[in-house]
Structure 1
Amino acid sequence: MVEIKTPEQIAKMREAGLVVAAIHAATRKVAVPGATTKDLDDAARKVLAEHGAKSNFLGYGGFPATICTSVNDVVVHGIPDTETVLQNGDIISIDCGAIIDGWHGDAAYTAFVGSGHSAELVGLSRVTEESMWAGIAAVAKGNRLVDISKAIEGYIRRQPRPTSGKYGIVEDYGGHGIGSQMHMDPHLLNYVDRKRGRGPKLVPGFCIAIEPMVNLGTAKTHVLDDDWTVKSNDGSWSSHWEHSVALTEDGPLVLTAPDGGKAKLAELGITAAPDPLA
């Protein structure tokens, strides 16, 4: 069952989304050489407290932190700790969420630690982020869930192949419905699986977290003994980008973007829905 939200509920999700955006801003400042991943988690906890919000990661299935910190070949669900010290040249994907009055926000981004990153790594993050925006642009009345998957995969497949050989679109993890829970129906693939059909129709009140994960090599992954940390099988580095998006009567609203997605969607020829909190 897909949960359809009222405009009032979407406004609450926008509040939660802005807290997530604030966590992203705070953790970007801390993601520097010499910082531990625990330092980033501490920054996220401070933002949550300042906004009177709850973490939807802490305790979820036993997860022990407020954010996921996935460094280099860690694809998703890296656990912050005091032992992992960021080094110049690392990349890190930070995934986090927030709850306001029972309504959820969830988003992720990839950051570059220090300087000197190769054009290949810069390209990996760009392709992953832009594929997410291609998916967001497909959140339109009359489309179906598969149209989001098609847009994500299509964007990635159209990019020039990196010198390492390929972009591996991770298949074991994907996007999800979001609202009164962090993870809800429907599950969103980042590629097209014709056996799954076209999925539900997108209607006003439909909310989805769109989150491509792309490796600079194989798409295959494995989970470490902590039952959380996911790594690429071949040690290739990975990028993860995510936004929570609501479809309204006036078009898409990117709940976790500070401007609601207005600027980026305009580049794609799409008018973002008005911000309900403006």
Structure 2
Amino acid sequence: MNLFADLLASTRATTAPSPVVQAGPRIQKSRRGVEVKSAREIATMRKASRIVATVLREIMAMAAPGMTTADLDAHAESRIRAMGAVPSFKGYHGFPASICASINNEVVHGIPSAKRVIKAGDLLKVDTGAYFEGYHGDSCVTLCVGEETPEPARRLARVAQESLMQGLAHIKAGNTLLDIAGAVQDHVEAHGYAVVEDYTGHGVGRNLHEEPSVFNFRTRELPNMTLRAGMTLAVEPILNAGSKACRTLKDRWTVVTVDGSLSAQWEHTIVVSSDGCEILTDRDF
């Protein structure tokens, strides 16, 4: 899940979140800065992330034309709670749902609705998180709904997923945030797409959004950082088929591309190791 637009002081840095107002945990900015997790903490994050991966795997199998995004949200909340966790997103800064469901030119933070019917050919982004025994997992997938999805949309989704994996391939202790950012940016731009710069990945753990910001483009505006074993990060490239420019709708949540072009996003929660990273939200189990 990205840093929420218009409700945080900056979309490029972790800021102090407001209290949760619904069923979710109270989320506060860590005062410890960038945290290196213990083996016990990582073990708990594996469980939280496994819940997220399970829910997303189920949604990927069930999403179909004629369903509504509210149907998917109801399934996600029910399953997260059945597995002993709490939806991380519901109530976060007042967000009303357990998933973000963003379709086609919607970039992030789409609000599920019983009026929003999924259609054949849609490019659907589903982002969700689970809070389990004091720790969060966070992940996003992009789905091509039905065989009717045009090849340009399929290609965008494929390159977005590849860019995530390119970034993860550059994670290990001793490498830097810019190593991740450069790998993502190079892959995206080599295929003619634009990296959305208004939103970043983030640290994740006891708080849904922790330091550091995990950016997907080379920049001097955000602090570079050397990775250490035990750091837990949510890496989440967001790609637009056209311009990188985005705007937020009147609901103050849903972000769309300014030019109406398609957008795709993939995200994993990972833990840094000495020689690579472990994908905690891996859906292959």
Q: Same fold (TM over 0.5)?
A: yes
Corresponding residue SS for 1:228: coil
Equivalent in the alignment of 2:217: 191
Instruction: Select which of 167, 181, 190 maps to 2:207.
Output: 181
Give the whole-Å Cα distance in 2 for the aligned partners of 1:12 and 1:20: 13
Post-superposition offset of 1:71? 0.5
Post-superposition offset of 1:241? 0.4
Q: Which structure shows the higher helix fraction? A: 1
Is 1:217 the counterpart of 2:245 in the alignment?
A: no
The structure 1 segments of at least 4 consecutive aligned residues displaced by more than 2 Å after TM superposition are 194-197, 248-251
Select between 251-260 and 64-73 the one with higher mean Cα deviation.
Answer: 251-260
Equivalent in the alignment of 1:116: 148
Corresponding residue SS for 2:117: coil
Corresponding residue SS for 1:196: coil
Give the whole-Å Cα distance in 2 for the aligned partners of 1:258 and 1:87: 25
User: What stretches of structure 2 of length at least 5 have no aligned partner?
Assistant: 1-32
Is 1:48 the counterpart of 2:73 in the alignment?
A: no
On the 8 A contact 2:169/2:276 being kept in 1, the answer is: no
Corresponding residue SS for 1:126: helix
Corresponding residue SS for 1:4: coil
User: What stretches of structure 1 of length at least 5 have no aligned partner?
Assistant: 162-166, 261-278
Over aligned residue pairs, what C-alpha RMSD do you find? 1.3
Is 1:235 the counterpart of 2:267 in the alignment?
A: no
Equivalent in the alignment of 1:245: 270
* Structure 2 letter corresponding to 1:44: A
Post-superposition offset of 1:180? 0.7
Is 1:226 the counterpart of 2:251 in the alignment?
A: yes
Equivalent in the alignment of 1:127: 159
Select between 168-177 and 25-34 the one with higher mean Cα deviation.
Answer: 25-34
Post-superposition offset of 1:149? 0.6
Give the whole-Å Cα distance in 2 for the aligned partners of 1:158 and 1:90: 25
Equivalent in the alignment of 1:169: 195
Is 1:5 the counterpart of 2:31 in the alignment?
A: no
Is 1:147 the counterpart of 2:179 in the alignment?
A: yes
Equivalent in the alignment of 1:72: 104
On the 8 A contact 1:211/1:242 being kept in 2, the answer is: yes
Instruction: Select which of 98, 102, 105 maps to 2:137.
Output: 105
Post-superposition offset of 1:248? 2.6
Give the whole-Å Cα distance in 2 for the aligned partners of 1:158 and 1:224: 30
Post-superposition offset of 1:195? 4.1
Corresponding residue SS for 1:202: coil
Post-superposition offset of 1:139? 1.0
Post-superposition offset of 1:175? 0.4
* Residue-by-residue CA offset, 1:123-151 (whole Å, 9 max, x unaligned): 10011100001111111111011111111
* Residue-by-residue CA offset, 1:104-137 (whole Å, 9 max, x unaligned): 1000000011122222111100111000011111
Give the whole-Å Cα distance in 2 for the aligned partners of 1:28 and 1:258: 11
- The number of residue pairs the alignment matches comes to 253
Give the whole-Å Cα distance in 2 for the aligned partners of 1:158 and 1:50: 43
Corresponding residue SS for 1:245: strand
* Structure 2 letter corresponding to 1:32: A
* Structure 1 letter corresponding to 2:167: G
Instruction: Select which of 74, 86, 92 maps to 1:60.
Output: 92
Post-superposition offset of 1:259? 4.3
Select between 105-114 and 26-35 the one with higher mean Cα deviation.
Answer: 26-35
On the 8 A contact 1:30/1:39 being kept in 2, the answer is: no
Give the whole-Å Cα distance in 2 for the aligned partners of 1:168 and 1:129: 14
Post-superposition offset of 1:46? 1.7
Equivalent in the alignment of 1:36: 68
Give the whole-Å Cα distance in 2 for the aligned partners of 1:79 and 1:117: 22
Give the whole-Å Cα distance in 2 for the aligned partners of 1:131 and 1:29: 23
On the 8 A contact 1:222/1:231 being kept in 2, the answer is: yes
Corresponding residue SS for 1:108: strand
* Residue-by-residue CA offset, 1:76-103 (whole Å, 9 max, x unaligned): 0000010000111111000000011011
